[in-house]
Amino acid sequence: MGACALRGAITALVTPFTPDGKVDERALRALVAWQVEQGIDAVVPVGSTGEAATLSLAERERVVAITAETVAGRVPVIAGAGSNDTAVAIENSRVLGAAGATHLLHVSPMYSKPPQRGLVAHFRAVADAAPLPVVLYNVPGRTASNMTPETQLALAEHPNIVATKEASGNIEQIAEIIRGRPLGFAVLSGDDSLTAEVMSLGGSGVISVVSNAVPAAMHALTVQASRGDVEATRAVHDSLASLFEAAFVESNPMPIKAALALMGRMGNVLRLPLVPLDPRHEPQLRLALSSAGVVLS
């Protein structure tokens, strides 16, 4: 599947855990199957929403394998393979590619804070070695460094770098990337609340957190936005606006896992240092889910 396949509503999957903290394979299969049935356009296992930082490589390999097996070729599987160690990022790419991914999501190296030329060197080395097409992931709030438009556009010229997930929240930066991108390079919003705005500028879609709970609605949002139907897009966006806010009242994926637990889709289990959502936020979350049309179990 090439770059043209990366568009629409793409779910950054949570990783369900059993009460004793192991990967809940049954809940994972059910979640992925439901996502595809609801019309989601692609899935991203073992990204930051999937708590990849606290999964071993063997666990990430297993999650990707289960996801790919459940998807069965119906939508792309974009596996989170990033690391701030370039050699590890390359090894992750090899392992997760062999597990069944169709694309690889590589986050900008966190903690190390390389200069822009270091980011270019890192991503080019990864893309040269990766067995599958690479999606850049710029999320300054987690990595403490921003990939500038100039850096992302330079990397977009690499034949094996096919898209960027832009979570800087900077609309002017995103617009600059969209204006300067090569043909076929997908620009995906990394923020649910900015989906309609990014797509109105020519973006290709969103890698979404809230679509874990409302895949059909997020798919509908991207469909209407891609058609340029402003009124229909606004109507869907407005129905989801409260959920966009509630999903980030504490660190992701704490709120969305609480939402999925309220929906009866998995236990509200996270790995330390993440903890379950503060109970004081539950009324807001319940109201937001109701506003989005979700019937709680």
Q: What is the pLDDT of residues 16-72, one digit of tens each?
A: 999 999 999 999 999 999 999 999 999 999 999 999 999 999 999 999 999 999 999
Is 137 an annotated catalytic residue?
yes
**Does a structural domain hold residue 256?**
no
Q: Is the pLDDT of residue 3 over 60?
A: no
**Does a structural domain hold residue 201?**
yes
Beta bridge partners, 11, equal 43, 208
Question: How many domains does one find in the chain?
Answer: 1
Q: Report the pLDDT averaged over residues 165-182.
A: 98
Q: Is the pLDDT of residue 73 over 80?
A: yes
2-25: b (≥16 Cβ within 10 Å) or e: ebebbbbbbbbbbbbbeeeeebbe
CATH (domain of 202):
3.20.20.70
Q: What is the pLDDT of residue 297?
A: 66
Q: How does residue 1 score in pLDDT terms, banded at 50, 70 and 90?
A: very low
**Does a structural domain hold residue 250?**
no
**Does a structural domain hold residue 265?**
no
Closest Cα to residue 110, out of 135, 134, 137, 87? 137
Q: Is the pLDDT of residue 237 over 50?
A: yes
**Does a structural domain hold residue 277?**
no
Q: What is the pLDDT of residue 295?
A: 87
Beta bridge partners, 77, equal 43
**Does a structural domain hold residue 241?**
no
How far is residue 197 from each of residues 104, 228, 230, measured CA to CA in Å?
Answer: 25, 11, 10
Q: Is the pLDDT of residue 4 over 60?
A: no
Q: Which of 22, 113, 165, 257 is catalytic?
A: 165
Tens digit of each residue's pLDDT (9 = 90 or more) over 112-170 = 999 999 999 999 999 999 999 999 999 999 998 999 999 999 999 999 999 999 999 99
Q: How does residue 2 score in pLDDT terms, banded at 50, 70 and 90?
A: very low
Q: Which of 22, 111, 137, 257 is catalytic?
A: 137
**Does a structural domain hold residue 93?**
yes
Structural domain containing residue 112: 3-236
Q: Report the pLDDT averaged over residues 226-247.
A: 98
Q: State in Å, rounded, how far the first CA of the chain is from the last one.
A: 37
Q: In what order do the strands lie in the sheet with 42-44?
A: 42-44, 8-12, 205-208, 186-189, 161-166, 134-138, 103-107, 78-80
Closest Cα to residue 137, out of 16, 48, 227, 260? 48
Share the mean pLDDT of the chain: 96
Tens digit of each residue's pLDDT (9 = 90 or more) over 256-271 = 999 999 999 999 999 9
Kind of pairing, strands 8-12 and 186-189? unpaired
**Does a structural domain hold residue 69?**
yes
